[in-house]
Amino acid sequence: MTTAHKIIFALDSFKGCLSSVEAGQAAAEGAENETVEVLNVSDGGDGMLSAFCQAYRTERVSCNCHDALMRPIRADYGLVGDMAIIETAQACGLSLLESNERDAVGGTSYGVGELLIHAFERGTRRFIIGLGGTATTDGGFGMLKALYVHAGPAAFFDTYLPRWRNECSWILASDVRNPLYGPQGAAAVFAPQKGATPAEVVRLDARMQRLAQHAARRMGHDCSMLPGAGAAGGLGYAFLQFFGAQMQSGAELLLDALDFDARLRDAALVITGEGSADKQTLMGKLPWHVLQRTQKAHVPCCLLAGKVSNREELLKAGFREALCIHPAGIPVEERLRAEVTKKNLSVTTAQLLTRFFRGEIKE
């Protein structure tokens, strides 16, 4: 009788197609007769709330807030004890807008402030904030405005803001390292994805530089050039500057919460993945963090993706295999169909495991 092998599936979401769990479960269907663990993972971007709430065993709380266009919506966050898990994209996410609704200049993070207020008034004093997937490039000004409106002008700077800074701890879960402004800043790098024209990028960059200069004069310190300040359209900066937040790798934070290293002890193989894998994967994306952990534990790690570029670089970095799940020549619209992606994840996993356990995939 053949002994089943333990295989861990830790796939990030296939953006616009499958969630982390959906991708992992689809791939695991190709591991027939093996012992599988499917992990819900995120690096702080898409799917952060679901993954972190599951890992930290929180309850889901829903409240009224506004989206990036100031339309009333309901948004969730996680709550356990005095700790809240907040995904900024729940309030001002790009996925909440149609493509023709994107407004990089006018989009506001006001709703994020409303989520924070709701959690704070329920007794939350420890926050884990997921940065990513926002439709905004306002440097967190909208979020701060929500707090200002709630507290009133007389109390905001003198008592309200100091309470949030002194009474609370803030961890920013993100693997973005960009500063607030400049050639690698939030506007230059990310605003075009949110619908900004070249002229609007220049305008947004100048606006955030002015915001940072004004805050630095008033507060006596400047966090605008810290790594991660440009995350989520500059929300990273607002948390760093005004709340004294600490930036941590979202992937590392989640893998620790999942006790990932302990799970590796009896694993034969780890399969990770994402929608599109290339050399950018090696610059701190979730599969790279998974790879680092597996290498330390001497457990092989393979990568699956809807699209693979720079394959040799991925293999050189340590992935035992890096495979595109889709057949060559498949139309883009087919790649984005959930049922097609699920089937190809399962088929590719089955083929990969056959080769792996035959010893055909070498280090």
Please enumerate in sequence order all residues whose Cβ is within 8 A of that of 337, keeping only pairs 6 or more positions apart, or say none: 17
Which contacts (CB < 8 Å, 24+ apart) does range 95-98 have?
95/46, 95/133, 96/67, 96/68, 96/135, 97/67, 97/68, 97/69, 97/135
pLDDT recorded at residue 288: 96
Exposure string over 53-71, b if 16+ CB within 10 A, otherwise e: bbbbebeebebebbbbbee
Is residue 87 a contact partner of residue 50, using CB atoms and an 8 Å limit? no
- Give percent helix, percent strand, percent coil of the chain, each to the nearest 5: 45, 20, 35
Please enumerate in sequence order all residues whose Cβ is within 8 A of that of 24, keeping only pairs 6 or more positions apart, or say none: 9, 10, 11, 38, 39, 40
Q: Which CATH class is domain 48-251?
A: alpha beta
Helix axes 286-297, 250-257, angle to 10 degrees: 50
Kindly tell me if the per-residue pLDDT of 46 is higher than 80.
Answer: no
Per-residue pLDDT averaged across 260-264, rounded?
98
User: CA-based Rg of the chain, rounded to a whole angstrom?
Assistant: 21
Q: Over the chain, what is the mean pLDDT?
A: 95
Residue in 323, 318, 330, 332 with CA at minimum distance from that of residue 363: 318
C-alpha to C-alpha distance for 31 and 267, rounded to whole angstroms: 14
* CATH architecture, range 6-41+269-357: 3-Layer(aba) Sandwich (3.40)
pLDDT recorded at residue 248: 94
Residue 2 pLDDT grade (very low, low, confident, very high; cuts 50, 70, 90): low
> Which residue type, as a one-letter code, is found at position 187?
A
Residue 336 pLDDT grade (very low, low, confident, very high; cuts 50, 70, 90): confident
> Which residue type, as a one-letter code, is found at position 12?
D
> Which residue type, as a one-letter code, is found at position 207?
R
Residue written as token pair 């790594």: 227
- Domain boundaries, given as residue ranges, for the chain: 6-41+269-357, 48-251
Is residue 160 a contact partner of residue 117, using CB atoms and an 8 Å limit? no
pLDDT recorded at residue 213: 97
Residue in 63, 39, 38 with CA at minimum distance from that of residue 52: 39
Is residue 187 a contact partner of residue 208, using CB atoms and an 8 Å limit? yes
* Residue pLDDT, tens place only, 140-190: 999 999 999 999 988 888 899 999 999 999 999 998 899 999 999 999 999
Q: How would you list the strands of the sheet with 59-66, edge to edge?
A: 59-66, 72-80, 83-87, 126-130, 169-173, 246-248
Per-residue pLDDT averaged across 323-336, rounded?
89
